[in-house]
Structure 1
Amino acid sequence: MNGHSGPSNGIAPDTNHVEAYANHTGSSTSTASAGPANGGYSQAMSPFQLHDQEALHHLYRAGFEMGNYADTIVHVNQSVVRLHALILSRSPYLVHLMSTSPQPGGQRVIYVNLEHEPEVTQDAFTIALGYLYSSAAVKHIRPENARAVLAAGCLLGSMDELCNYAYEICRQSITMDNINTWLEFVDAVPSVSSDGVSTPVETHQLPPPRTAVFGPYAQQLKDDVFHFLVVTLPQLLNVGALATPATPNPGVPDPGRDALLQVYARVPFDLFKAAVESPVFQIGSDQARFKFAKDAIELRKRGIARGLGAEETVVLAFGGSNFGGSAVHITRKMRKRPLWKVNS
């Protein structure tokens, strides 16, 4: 137990695996159900598959959770984890650290600095470390930490399955309750031009964005938030259900529209513009879309757009669309600085 009363690496023990060991009384020829196979029939695991499964359970329990026979000490912020170099070598990131860290003798010691990766939490990094040992680590992933686990998996590298799993949880967990958090995230994702290429930035001018660790997942998540804003959220709020076909009825309250306005008042400008102009943003007629954009801009003047030195406006093209499929067009221009006359 490495001198601790609990698991040496601070990981809650996998009781399912412990019970499996305690209750396993069969020989190496025992079989277990592997779940439905082709045609809906249950297929028994071969003795070799059962052996591999038990080996992985032991590796995760004794190697990762308990830290038995560890040869590498990993310092992650204020945490210390006892692990094994052979397993850590599955990660290109950790291979680099191990190969560049001086080893005076005895156990290998490496230091992981997460200060420059604010999206990676210590808890998520520990989960990703556990995944190097076994997929049993995914049981610790929840909607609250899925994005951080995705970032940790991207940082360690060679974890496509873990990253895809965490990404899917992120995608499914975008809700009205946490949309503000996701808006802050997408605001940090660099904008992509129409040809799919990010606007180039000189490396000496700006540091990498905090979302750089996600790689292509950053843009995927941004697209998911966009879809939530223009498709899912209006449907959830039943926007326009109490409105006339042409324009919202000022005499009839529409709580769904009001709630949507409060969200759009906090959306970063590029996303706000794309959402309002999107043909899949079903909020009624062009006049209804124009009125919605105008009301949102009024709210934005007192919030997200306040003090930026820019003025947002909305234009409605009568008699047809002049803006690539939408009759409503959002613009933003910098306010002119007042000129002061100096008397000589």
Structure 2
Amino acid sequence: MSTTPQPTGQCNIYLNLEQEPEVTEEGLSIALGYLYSSVTIRAITSQNARSVLAAGCLLGGMDELCNYAYEICRQSITVENISTWLQFVDAVPAPSDGTSTPIEQRQMPPQTAIFGPFAQRLREDVFDFLVVTLPQTLNVGGLSTPISPHPDGQPSDAGRDTLLQIFALVPFDMFKAAVESPTFQIVGSDQARFKFAKDAIDLRKRGIARGQGAEETVVLAFGGHNGGSTVHVTRKLRKRPLWKVNA
């Protein structure tokens, strides 16, 4: 963003929005309108909130607007749009406390850097949605969850099946953290969490993990975990095949 002074005392403001794909014309229009009247805050909806937040962070000095847009974003995370939010958080680097399996660290890409601290807050909101809200919403393992026939003849939990389809799309670092979290009690036992992770990894092999040159696995530890997680997800690079050349 740059400004050019004019002879009349006015300034032209140039915004290079090509480098900020999160900022749309609608979001920028609402943010600029907020400079003149706080009434424009009423134009923020679940559809444009993230763009307004990005525009507000870009322009700066709009704490009320940004906090309001962020809250709309947080409340708008649903089963229907979770795939879009997963694409967003995939660009937000995961924090590391040094206690989990090392995960490849990346620099924050430009499309999420614009959000500043809101990027990490949104990432945490998506994580909480996956671990707490989503299993409850889908009533995973609940008595009222619709049951349908499974190809192998076993009853299928429709809520669990939907949760599996969603977790098959979750970026690895968040998938690992979610499955290993004791808060993620889909049925209330470590064995159920382990079985869920195993089924999800089978789906991920045909989707998000395909072609990455890495293999995801899950193990269940027994005893001596002192209240920690007994379910552990790891990812390791596949060994390249060795070719023997006869001289």
Residue of structure 1 equivalent to 2:173? 270
Displacement of 1:251:
3.2
Decide whether aligned partners of structure 1 residues 281 and 303 sit closer, same or farther in structure 2, where only a CA change above 3 A counts.
same
Matches within 5 A, 1:73-222: 97-98=2-3, 101=4, 103=6, 108-194=11-97, 208-222=109-123
Q: What is the root-mean-square deviation in Å for CA atoms of aligned residues?
A: 2.3
Residue of structure 1 equivalent to 2:138? 237
CA deviation map 1:14-52 (0-9, x unaligned): xxxxxxxxxxxxxxxxxxxxxxxxxxxxxxxxxxxxxxx
Rounded to whole Å, the distance in 1 between the matches of 2:122 and 2:161 is 26
Rounded to whole Å, the distance in 2 between the matches of 1:207 and 1:298 is 29
TM-score for the superposition, normalised by structure 1 = 0.64
Displacement of 1:298:
0.2
TM-score for the superposition, normalised by structure 2 = 0.88
Report the residue type matching 1:146 in the other structure. A
Rounded to whole Å, the distance in 1 between the matches of 2:105 and 2:195 is 36
Residue of structure 1 equivalent to 2:213? 309
Aligned-pair identity in percent equals 71
Which consecutive unaligned segments of at least 5 residues does structure 2 have?
Answer: 99-103, 145-149
Structure 1 or 2, whichever has the larger Rg, is 1
| SS of equivalent to 1:129 | helix
Find runs of 4+ consecutive structure 1 residues off by over 6 angstroms. none
Matches within 5 A, 1:274-289: 274-284=177-187, 285-289=189-193
| SS of equivalent to 1:253 | strand
Report the residue type matching 1:325 in the other structure. G
| SS of equivalent to 1:241 | coil
Displacement of 1:236:
0.4
Match of 2:199 among 295, 320, 343: 295
Rounded to whole Å, the distance in 2 between the matches of 1:127 and 1:256 is 38
Q: Is the 8 A contact 2:92 2:109 kept in 1?
A: no
Rounded to whole Å, the distance in 1 between the matches of 2:205 and 2:89 is 20
Report the residue type matching 1:210 in the other structure. Q
Rounded to whole Å, the distance in 1 between the matches of 2:42 and 2:174 is 34
Residue of structure 2 equivalent to 1:338? 241
Rounded to whole Å, the distance in 1 between the matches of 2:108 and 2:221 is 40
Q: Is the 8 A contact 1:320 1:327 kept in 2?
A: no
Residue of structure 2 equivalent to 1:327? 230
Matches within 5 A, 1:5-16: none
Which consecutive unaligned segments of at least 5 residues does structure 1 have?
Answer: 1-92, 244-248
Residue of structure 1 equivalent to 2:101? none
Displacement of 1:227:
0.3
Displacement of 1:241:
1.5
Rounded to whole Å, the distance in 2 between the matches of 1:169 and 1:235 is 21
Q: Is the 8 A contact 2:93 2:105 kept in 1?
A: no
Decide whether aligned partners of structure 1 residues 329 and 106 sit closer, same or farther in structure 2, where only a CA change above 3 A counts.
closer
Rounded to whole Å, the distance in 2 between the matches of 1:307 and 1:212 is 27
Higher relative contact order (CA 8 A, sep 6+): 2
Displacement of 1:106:
8.0
Displacement of 1:109:
2.9
Between 311-320 and 256-265, the greater mean CA deviation after superposition: 311-320
Displacement of 1:208:
3.7
Rounded to whole Å, the distance in 2 between the matches of 1:312 and 1:266 is 14
